[in-house]
Structure 1
Amino acid sequence: MDSPAEVVPIFTPLNILLLSAAAYLVYMRLQPAVLPSIPSPAPPAVFTTYTPRMLQKYNGTDDARILIAVKGTVFDMSSGRMFYGPGAPYNIFAGRDASRGLAKGLLQDDMLTSVDKPVDGLGDLTPEEQQTLAGWYEQFEGKYLIVGELKNE
């Protein structure tokens, strides 16, 4: 004799748990990826004529930008903040004409021309110092944006 079929309920606690887990996995798989936020671009750099006094404020502290002059050319060193920013090894040059200090390989205040004096003509540099300075200039020219020139008041 045939026995009547036993009715198995579909909505058991185990089935509900498995269905919930499957629905969650499908949701996570189909969920749109969060796009990373894109930082706002820096304001465009405009080629400007700077005086030593004007350049001084771009030291990474008074202004977020870091500008350094070498051989009359002003470079935006902001992307090299770890080298030229506040507390960094070459911070002494930030906002200043770094030519003499780079040529002589000295990180000293007396290698910087006072902002009240005319731009250093560098006429007393030895051929070796001029060559060293040219090497620094080429390195900066290939790596940093030129944003201006350094002129007397």
Structure 2
Amino acid sequence: MIAFGLQLAAVSSRTTHHPKDTLTRQRHFFLSFFFFSSFLDSSPNPPNQPPGTTTTTTHNTDSETPMSSLANPVNWILAAVLGYISYNYFSASAAPPPAAATRPKQPALVFKEYTPKELAAFDGRTAETRILMAVQGKVFDVTRGRNFYGPDGPYGNFAGRDASRGLAKNSFDKSMLSPIDGPIDTLEGLDDDEKEALHDWGALFEGKYQLVGKLVENKD
């Protein structure tokens, strides 16, 4: 019985502060409180007296029942555990919820032309830097997909670049990218399946991300 009560205390103390866990923490607390309260209020059988045996009660003016309960070390241990549960419960209830992390709001982009050199600056290198990508000559703002196109994402090599050939070949290797100071990739050498795959990617980007510009050749 004592082990069961201690297990309830451990579960109650490990409950997180998330609002969804409040009901669970309350159940653990009140169940533990009921268990320990009933245990403290119970009176043990007299020593050397088998359960169910009727005894004659004698009144002793020199001692009282509350004193005998306080003298029981088990009751002291249970009272200490109950106090620990109460402290953890009310401390968790009073703790404020963690503040949600928010990214700085960025102004809307105006549709414009981007050269490969200009596009390279929008690679999401910092939290304040937008992420732009070119697909089939169209430039998309994929900043809200930072988990995929950011520096640590699986498509991170495409950030700030023309990703057309890599998407067509389903390859994320840097060899799929044209040099930013060279001409735009004409996509020569793609077979029919790769062209179809690229078309599907283009439709996906148009339906999911904002079209913010057009990719044009470098001016010098």
TM-score norm. by structure 1 comes to: 0.72
Moved over 3 A (4+): 38-41
Total equivalences in the alignment: 117
The offset of 1:42, in angstroms, is 2.4
Structure 1 counterpart SS, 2:194: helix
Higher RCO (CA 8 Å, separation ≥ 6 residues): 1
RMSD: 1.8
Distance between the aligned counterparts of 1:85 and 1:149, measured in 2?
Answer: 21
Does residue 75 in structure 1 map to residue 140 in structure 2? yes
Counterpart check, 1:100 vs 2:165:
yes
Structure 1 gap ranges (5+): 1-37
**Residues 1:115 and 1:83: Cα distance change in structure 2 (over 3 Å):** same
Which residue among 53, 56, 61 is the counterpart of 2:120?
56
User: Which of 200, 213, 216 is 1:135 aligned to?
Assistant: 200
Report the Cα offset of residue 75 of structure 1. 0.3
In the superposition, the TM-score normalised over structure 2's length comes to 0.51
Higher helix proportion (structure 1 or 2): 2
Gaps of 5+ in 2: 1-101
Q: Could you say which residue in structure 2 is the equivalent of 1:111?
A: 176
The 1:127/1:43 distance shift into structure 2, 3 A limit, reads same
* CA apart distance, 1:116: 1.3
Higher Rg of the two aligned structures: 2
**Letter of the structure 2 residue corresponding to residue 50 of structure 1:** Y
Q: Deviations over 1:81-115 (max 9, x none)?
A: 01001111100000000000000011111100000
* 2-structure distance, mates of 1:69, 1:141: 11
1:40 positional shift: 6.8
